[in-house]
Chains A and B, each alone.
Chain A
Amino acid sequence: MNTSSPWLLRRGGRTVTALCLTLMLTALGVAAGSAKAGLPSKATTTGAMAATAAYTCSSSATPVTFWGWVPGFSNIVNSFNATHPNICVTLQNVGAGPVQYNKLLLDIRGGKGLPDVAEVEYSALPEFEVTNSLANLNQYGAQGFKTDFSAGFWSLVSHGGGTYALPGDAGPMGLFVNQTFMKQYHLAVPTTWSQLASEAEQLHKAHPGVYLTDFTPVNTELYVALLWQAGARPFAWSGKTVTFNYDSAAARQVGNYWQKLINDHAVATEALGPPMFKQMNDNKIGIGIFPAWGPSYFSATASKATLGRWRSAALPQWKAGQNLSANDGGSAYVVFKASAHPQAAATFVEWMNATMPSWKQLISPPSSLFPTFLPMLNNPLLAKTTIPLACSSHYFVPFANSAAHIAPGFSWSPFEIYGTTQMDDAMQKVVTGKLTIAQAMKSLQQTMDSYAKQEGFTPKS
């Protein structure tokens, strides 16, 4: 076939072996070099949190396995192990959110392979409660921490008298406002939704290339937070009955409000993430309706030009003078009944979520979590946090206020791991104009009612 073959080909097999060996040795060398126990790992970044030295547990310590995906958890685990020598926590990152939940649920079903502690978002928590696999933390002293958390967040981790997780981080809602943009277009920061609507409409009529804000219905938890703030309670469940109500008066109020703005092309409709941030970089979107973790998400891809221009503000209200907010995102931490060492696991969960030493690390990069832990929420350390996007302003303060005013009485359904993806599907059709929000909500209602039936629940209206 070949009339001539270059020297590489002739050397073929021997060269490959040599190359493979070299690669393996290099990889081995680098891995060994950076994983030596007790040595701090070399520079990860410019300045910020250097990785804590990996602590070597004693062999008699109680082993606890922790599944979580937030960056920086390895530092938390190290700190805990160093200060609690009789417990040895091992962290595994088995994937974020639904990837981890799938493995957990399969392992619950198969009866093996569960960790002791796992990170579970508030929206997914009821689904685990329903499998009857979570330990009731009241038997490990959870009630002692009740006053460290607001009623809103405590109710998200409680059900039927039991406490099934400790609250971790949160995403209370607020606004992130580009001051230069607002000055340029002579706009005031809206304090009511009707003010936001009229400003948005006027702005876009006068300047068709820019938008006051972005509405992201495909970020389903953000949309649910908006429903939550308006007083809608789309989910209720107890025992084997569940209620889905996407069509209450309050929900319709929110839906119609945004549908009008979409129809009038008065808002952008990018998903919360890099496409939206790019428009913010380019001064095409002036306000982000953000949860507390929004600004740090934005800052990862913020352009130099936009730094320093942004300030936080409170979420607009439906009635002037009200002060209600809602939460988008955040995780709680559970202990499984199947754990071999539930007390040690609970100790870790309590230390991680309800102590200042832990939270001092968690609010810093790379974790950058926003606390539900009241002592940290009210601590000047949090208030003084700055971010280059917001210059030296204390951008967390409006979000902290928001956290203190989360509207009470909200709960998720036990089917939200699936439900959030179905709402996402329905909302995609809204963004492309195939459905109105009202129609999307109706079809979502049908989908979730039949899913509940498939799961042996009775949907009640």
Chain B
Amino acid sequence: MTAVAEPVPAASPPQEHRRRRRGALRTAVVPYGLIGPFYLLFVFFTIGPLLYAAYLSLYNRTLTGSNLFVGFSNYSTLFHDSDFWSGMVSTVLLGVVEVPLMLALAIFLAVVLDMKLVRFGRVFRLIYFVPFAIPGVVATVMWGYLLVPDLSPFDVVLSHLGLGTPNLLGSGFLWPALGNMLIWELVGYNMLIIYTALQTVPRELTEAAVLDGANAWAIALRVRLPAVRGAITLTALFSIIGTLQLFTEPLLLNNLSGAISTHLTPNLYLYNQATVGQQTNLAAAGALILALIIAMAAGVVLTAMRRAGAGRS
């Protein structure tokens, strides 16, 4: 995708020379000018805080105002912090269960809608995408009120069935509740990405398979899905990143659920360290550790998907 100005023949040499030089200059400067405004904001609002966080992570500022350089001691404190790591493990476990479930559902829906196995496909697609437009605050409030014992209609149903009125936001149900919220919020968005990718798969492959006598499921699994591996990788990546950064839902559910500790997820833990604990230096170090872990997880997923693709052929 390159664009280099081709000098136009048939102009007189001095003019052509001047035009070529001007063209070259323009081509050199213009792209920087085009990305400039975005990049300016990007540097100030993303890179800046990142660098500042790296700087902060090497200091320790106290409530009384002293601000001492402590080197890597914050990182060391975090490595030995069982709360941070237990939250990390729980969140990773959540991801291991919730992301494949959600993606499997998203892929299933995308495939059946793409193959028009369902009537009113467009209506379903719209319905599935609605949660994307709903603010996280609202989604959490809705689900919170659906699960909190005094408001929950599920508890009413369960008690009629003789199963009592369990606290669906209590410690036994909390992780499934959070997983459910994530699935509810993300399945439609991911389904749509895979669906639109499926729409662009060339017909020739499918027609060849039909001529070979394959049935619907075989076509879906062996012809259409592999062709959209890129889209599936993308959704897997975003889902894992989003799950590992889980924060808003437990934060907002805290008022309703008595079972949310300050270190339920690593992101929540760091938020509490920074705000409630006023340990912004520790939190900065933690943010960088978390970012590194997320990057590694992303790397693992990308490698796995690539290997799966290579293995096929």
Contact = CB atoms under 8 A, between A and B. Distances in A.
Are A and B in contact, CB atoms below 8 Å, in the complex?
yes
Given A432-B171, A451-B277, A301 B199 contact: no
Q: Majority SS of interface residues in chain A?
A: helix
A205 B61 CA distance: 54
B276 A102 contact: yes
Given A130-B63, A414-B63, A456-B64, A275 B276 contact: no
Nearest to A450: B77
Contacts of A102: 275-276, 278
A455 B62 CA distance: 5
B262 interface: yes
B240 interface: no
B79 to A, nearest CB: 15
Interface residues of A, number: 35
Interface stretch (A315-323, A341-349, A421-429): A421-429
B162 interface: no
Contact of A455 (B64, B165, B167, B262): B64
A162 to B, nearest CB: 16
Interface string A405-429: 0000000001001100110110010
B150 A278 contact: yes
Contacts of B167: 270, 275
Residue of A131, A273, A432, A455 with most partner-chain B CB within 10 A: A455
B106 interface: no
B95 interface: no
Interface residues of B, number: 31
Given A275-B167, A277-B150, A98 B276 contact: yes
Contact of B149 (A275, A417, A421, A455): A275
A228 to B, nearest CB: 22
- The B contact surface, by secondary structure, is loop
B63 A455 contact: yes
B250 to A, nearest CB: 13
A455 B259 CA distance: 28
A121 interface: no
A271 interface: yes
B248 interface: no
A277 to B, nearest CB: 7
A275 B259 CA distance: 12
Contacts of A428: 171, 258-259, 261
26 contacts: A1-B199, A102-B275, A105-B63, A109-B61, A131-B64, A131-B65, A132-B64, A132-B65, A270-B258, A274-B149, A274-B150, A275-B149, A275-B150, A278-B165, A414-B63, A418-B276, A421-B272, A424-B262, A425-B83, A425-B262, A425-B263, A428-B261, A431-B171, A432-B171, A455-B62, A456-B64
Interface of B: 60-66, 77, 83, 122, 148-151, 165, 167, 171, 199, 256, 258-259, 261-263, 272, 275-279, 282
